[in-house]
Amino acid sequence: MAAPPGRVEGAPATTGAITPAATETPAATSDTAAPAEAPPAQAAPTDPAPVQAAAPPVDPVVGEIRNKLATTSFVTRSNSADVDALKAFYGGDTPPVWTKGGAYTDAAKALITELGKADDWGLKASDYPTVALVSVASIESQVDAGAQLALSALRYARDARGGRVDPRSVSNIWDVGGEVKDPAAVLKDISSSHTPDAVLRDLHPKHPDFEALRQALLKARGPSEPPPPIDEALLVKLPEDKSVATLKSGQSDDDVPLLRKRLKVAAADGADERFYDDVLAEAVSEFQSTKGLKATGTLNRSTRRALNRDGDQEKPADRNGTIDNLIVNMERWRWLPADMGNLYVWNNVPEYIGRVMKDDAPIFEERIIVGLPTWPTPMLTDSMEKIVFNPEWGMPDGIKVKELLPRLKRASGSDDFFGALFGGSSGGGRVLAAYGLKPSLNGRPVDPDSINWNNVDIRRYSFVQPPGAKNPLGRVKFMFPNRHDVYMHDTSERSLFAQSRRALSHGCIRVQNPEKLASVLLEQDKSWDEDQVSGRFRSGGEVLLDKPIPVYLTYFTARPNADGTIKTYNDIYGHDARVLSALAGRPVRYTPPDHSNEVVADDATIVSDPYAEPVAQQSRKKGKQARKKSGSGDEAGDIISNALSGLLFN
């Protein structure tokens, strides 16, 4: 129980003297003697006043540090949580931490040295000012050291864990963010450690990709090395315009002497240099193998490009663009959890690759299709909760408004294309029937031809496509609930995976081998074999995962190859410049690394232009033209199909 006011808790209670109440005595008589007179009452002694414990004297340096932290001009550029933590740290009887006997402690020296190396970690050393590493004999210099060094260390700790930029404040589709460590915990760790520099280094991401990017940054910022001797053969350029012929063994051409110089293959004594012989064809085949091209020995356009770009690789890289690109991607690693999990799904958008990772190594890898630049796939961290087999598809509001409604309006208007084509008064029903969409309002089916689509809020209506061959989700979808309503799924447009640049969807992730992905995930989660998974594909329905699997949708435009070299990818959404501008606090002009050394194989199904017509549309047009020539086929159905191309691809 608390002591009464004015009393030290635990002291004996203080009371006044208690005088016994007087009792009435009978009057004296001659037969009784008068009682002896009672001695006067003595006042009870009073307890001494409680003694308050004297507060320990405040160290003069600590006292001045407290005053310094209360100065607005000093703390105005610091994070308020860091300032509050430091005030609390020095609010008790903590002595000065970083100075002793008028000099820096060894721990302080290590901390100052580490802050000066911030650039090596993709940060900016100028963001973490420190007092010069000289004598701090005066009270004023010790105050500056104690306050400024601590705040700089706290800012470094915050930035190392992704606190430089709040991604959500930069873009509505960047649902990621760093896990900043509590500043009070940071202060405790660095003040109690003999190696506070190691404490700071330990805060950086530990994923192997981050370290590979850091090593590349150190190399890019290192002393410039003299260029290697120029190989004159690499200076030889072969024509690669559309008019050049494809050459193979047994042919003669003016380009053959150039090819011989490029590959250092001389003609036999007395032979015609213009003749493409078997020896030269073998050299071409070997070169094709080293570049991942089909080893045919034929000089085609893609081989010409590869030969010419091979020489370009010897040119000095754009140092500024390279460094900026590395810093941007290192920063993105700070936005991911320090522990991504033992098992997780990782889709890297610019790479067009999805993976299942276990112990930070891929156990499954495949091509993916991601969102168009006008429908970008978000960056997010979530957890996969269930897998749905043979799903139906409900059209999201965004596609209803941007894609479906304009078609329904045209079909319902005076310039009714479908009505004119089929002789009906409205084509709304045909638009929806073409892909098996079933409209409803408040759960009740509606007749689309009875609705004037020019005067309704289409978001009130539901459009559902049942499972089947036309369903854009294919046979399975992988669900990780998020506010963007994106998920991973199969697709009926499988030919699109042949394209080298696959930003083609409305934001969702389409997977190339969904059957194998489902098998891998369910084997890991439930120990199911392939027969059990195949049974689900036949029966349909939902399968809830026993343990949700983390899912990461990332946007790394630079990642290490197996040999440690860094491969860069096209910034398809222009995010890199946004990150750099956010880090700088002002608009920054960004020159991305050169991607001209990328080689696209000769393949009729590959489209190098990200805005080129999808292969599926090309094949549909070819089929339509063929049917026109033969006079067979459902031409009306083809027209509807082509008019709706891209509408239903999530």
Residue 566 in domain: yes
Residue-wise pLDDT tens digits, 119-155: 999 999 989 988 777 677 888 888 888 899 999 999 9
Residue 293 in domain: yes
**Orientation angle between helical segments 208-221 and 319-334, nearest 10 degrees:** 150
pLDDT number for residue 53: 57
Q: Are residues 264 and 335 in the same domain?
A: no
Domain that holds residue 334: 319-391+469-612
Report whether 570 contacts 501 (CB < 8 A).
yes
pLDDT number for residue 277: 94
Q: Are residues 256 and 361 in the same domain?
A: no
Select from 312, 342, 377 the last residue of a domain. Answer: 312
Q: Higher pLDDT residue, 530 or 38?
A: 530
Residue 159 in domain: yes
Q: Are residues 194 and 266 in the same domain?
A: no
Q: Which of 157, 166, 218 is nearest to 187 (CA)?
A: 157
Residue-wise DSSP of 139-204 = HHHHHHHHHHHHHHHHHHHHHHTT-S--HHHH-TTEE----PPPHHHHHHHHHH-S-HHHHHHTTS
Q: Are residues 270 and 154 in the same domain?
A: no
Distances (CA, A) of 217 to 208, 224, 634: 14, 13, 59
Side-chain half-sphere CA neighbours of 484 within 13 A: 25
pLDDT number for residue 617: 42
**Radius of gyration of the chain from its Cα atoms, rounded to whole angstroms:** 38
Report whether 429 contacts 447 (CB < 8 A).
yes
Q: Are residues 294 and 330 in the same domain?
A: no
Angstrom distance (rounded) from CA 254 to CA 611 = 35
pLDDT number for residue 330: 98
Q: Higher pLDDT residue, 233 or 577?
A: 577
Angstrom distance (rounded) from CA 224 to CA 205 = 28
Angstrom distance (rounded) from CA 197 to CA 214 = 18
Instruction: Note the helical H segments in 313-374.
Output: 319-334
Segment 248-258 shows an average pLDDT of 91
Segment 340-355 shows an average pLDDT of 97
Report whether 410 contacts 487 (CB < 8 A).
no
Q: Are residues 124 and 145 in the same domain?
A: yes
Decide if pLDDT at 626 tops 90: no
pLDDT number for residue 562: 85
Decide if pLDDT at 21 tops 50: no
Decide if pLDDT at 176 tops 50: yes
Would you put residue 210 in left (φ > 0), alpha (ψ -120 to 50) or beta? alpha
Q: Are residues 504 and 590 in the same domain?
A: yes
> How far out from the chain centre does Cα 143 lie?
40
pLDDT number for residue 54: 56
For the chain, give the number of residues: 650
Residue 73 in domain: yes
Q: Domain tally for the chain? A: 3
Q: Which two tokens stand for residue 329?
A: 């991607």
pLDDT number for residue 320: 60
β-sheet bridge partners, residue 568? 558
Decide if pLDDT at 565 tops 50: yes
Report whether 112 contacts 130 (CB < 8 A).
yes
Predicted confidence band at 422 (pLDDT cuts at 50, 70, 90)?
Answer: very low
Q: Are residues 279 and 176 in the same domain?
A: no
Select from 312, 343, 368 the last residue of a domain. Answer: 312
pTM: predicted TM-score of the whole model, two decimal places: 0.66
Which residues, other chains included, contact 379 with Cβ-Cβ below 8 Å and sequence gap of 6+?
Answer: 167, 173, 174, 175, 176, 332, 335, 349, 553, 554, 555
Q: Which of 203, 55, 204, 73 is nearest to 147 (CA)?
A: 73
Residue-wise pLDDT tens digits, 58-67: 788 888 999 9
Angstrom distance (rounded) from CA 472 to CA 477 = 10
Decide if pLDDT at 318 tops 80: no
Q: Which two tokens stand for residue 157?
A: 């700790």
Decide if pLDDT at 630 tops 60: no
Select from 251, 285, 312 the last residue of a domain. Answer: 312
Residue-wise pLDDT tens digits, 442-491: 888 888 888 888 888 988 888 887 777 667 788 999 999 999 999 999 98
Angstrom distance (rounded) from CA 408 to CA 455 = 11
pLDDT number for residue 4: 40
Lowest mean pLDDT among 284-288, 289-293, 310-314: 310-314
Segment 627-647 shows an average pLDDT of 39
Q: Are residues 263 and 116 in the same domain?
A: no
Side-chain half-sphere CA neighbours of 388 within 13 A: 17
Residue 454 in domain: no
Lowest mean pLDDT among 157-171, 326-340, 524-538, 607-621: 607-621
Segment 46-74 shows an average pLDDT of 76
Q: Which sign does the torsion angle of CA 589, 590, 596, 601 carry? A: negative
Predicted confidence band at 554 (pLDDT cuts at 50, 70, 90)?
Answer: very high
Q: Are residues 602 and 475 in the same domain?
A: yes
Burial of 428 (0-12, 13-18, 19+ CB in 10 A): buried
Strand, helix or coil at 623? helix
pLDDT number for residue 139: 86
Report whether 154 contacts 128 (CB < 8 A).
no
Residue 224 in domain: no
pLDDT number for residue 16: 39
Report whether 542 contacts 388 (CB < 8 A).
yes
Residue 131 in domain: yes
Q: Are residues 239 and 151 in the same domain?
A: no
Other beta carbons within 10 angstroms of residue 29's beta carbon come to 8
Q: What is the mean pLDDT of the chain?
A: 80
pLDDT number for residue 144: 84
pLDDT number for residue 116: 92
Residue 593 in domain: yes
pLDDT number for residue 415: 47
Decide if pLDDT at 440 tops 50: yes
Q: Are residues 371 and 240 in the same domain?
A: no
Q: Which two tokens stand for residue 401?
A: 């408004």
* CATH number assigned to the domain comprising residue 574: 2.40.440.10
Residue-wise pLDDT tens digits, 480-519: 999 999 999 998 888 999 999 999 998 999 999 999 999 9
* CATH number assigned to the domain comprising residue 293: 1.10.101.10
pLDDT number for residue 472: 74
Q: Which of 232, 288, 284, 234 is nearest to 256 (CA)?
A: 284
